[in-house]
């Protein structure tokens, strides 16, 4: 109590006014099919413009990306071939310009890169020699200006970084 009184007196002596802050916390409820035990929101949100991009793990163990505009939570469903158990969206979206780049784990257990422009998911196929079981796009991307470099693991075990803008 004495510390609070001394602090208040100090603020008054220094001419500092007390400022009150108002803060509202709004819950974004897990959508149907993503609210079971071990399911729901997972990861770190990404901001693009005025939207939040959030990763959820479903009751089926598939992960999907959602966008939240401040009022509505909308699923960006995993594409066909990326919907199996523990497959689907993986990682953190990377914003380059007006697009998001996303990593998906396919039913073939190969990681693939997708470009999302806000309405359409476009697959950017792994280059030849990087399409084997658990190969393809791996790791964290590197964005330098408007250029995106992605790490790929080859069928022979080699690792290289490729300029993804040349592949799209």
pLDDT tens sequence across 8-43: 333 344 444 555 666 788 888 889 998 888 899 988
* CA nearest neighbour of 91 among 132, 82, 120, 168: 82
- The pLDDT value given to residue 54: 92
Tokens standing for residue 113: 């890169």
Q: What is the pTM of this model?
A: 0.73
Q: Are 97 and 146 spatial neighbours (Cβ–Cβ below 8 Å)?
A: yes
Backbone angles phi, psi at 83, to 5 degrees: -110, 0
Helix and strand totals (H; E) in the chain: 1, 12
Q: Are 158 and 168 spatial neighbours (Cβ–Cβ below 8 Å)?
A: no
- The pLDDT value given to residue 164: 63
Q: Is 9 helix (H, G, I), strand (E, B) or coil?
A: helix
| Spatial distance between the Cα atoms of 35 and 5, rounded to a whole number of angstroms | 47
- The pLDDT value given to residue 145: 76
Residue 89 pLDDT more than 80?
yes
Question: Could you give the C-alpha distances from 18 to 4, 11, 128, in angstroms and in order?
Answer: 13, 8, 64
């Amino acid at each position: 109590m004495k510390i609070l009184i001394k602090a208040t007196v100090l603020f008054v002596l220094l001419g500092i006014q007390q400022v009150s802050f108002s803060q509202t916390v709004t819950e974004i409820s897990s959508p149907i099919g993503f609210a079971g035990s071990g399911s729901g929101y997972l990861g770190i949100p990404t901001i693009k413009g005025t939207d939040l991009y959030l990763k959820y793990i479903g009751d089926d163990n598939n992960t999907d990306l959602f966008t939240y505009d401040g009022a509505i939570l909308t699923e960006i469903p995993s594409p066909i071939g990326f919907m199996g158990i523990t497959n689907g969206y993986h990682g953190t979206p990377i914003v380059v310009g007006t697009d998001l780049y996303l990593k998906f784990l396919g039913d073939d257990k190969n990681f693939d890169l997708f470009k999302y422009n806000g309405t359409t998911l476009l697959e950017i196929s792994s280059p030849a020699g990087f399409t084997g079981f658990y190969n393809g796009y791996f790791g964290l991307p590197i964005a330098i200006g408007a250029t995106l470099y992605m790490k790929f693991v080859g069928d022979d075990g080699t690792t290289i970084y490729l300029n993804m803008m040349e592949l799209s």
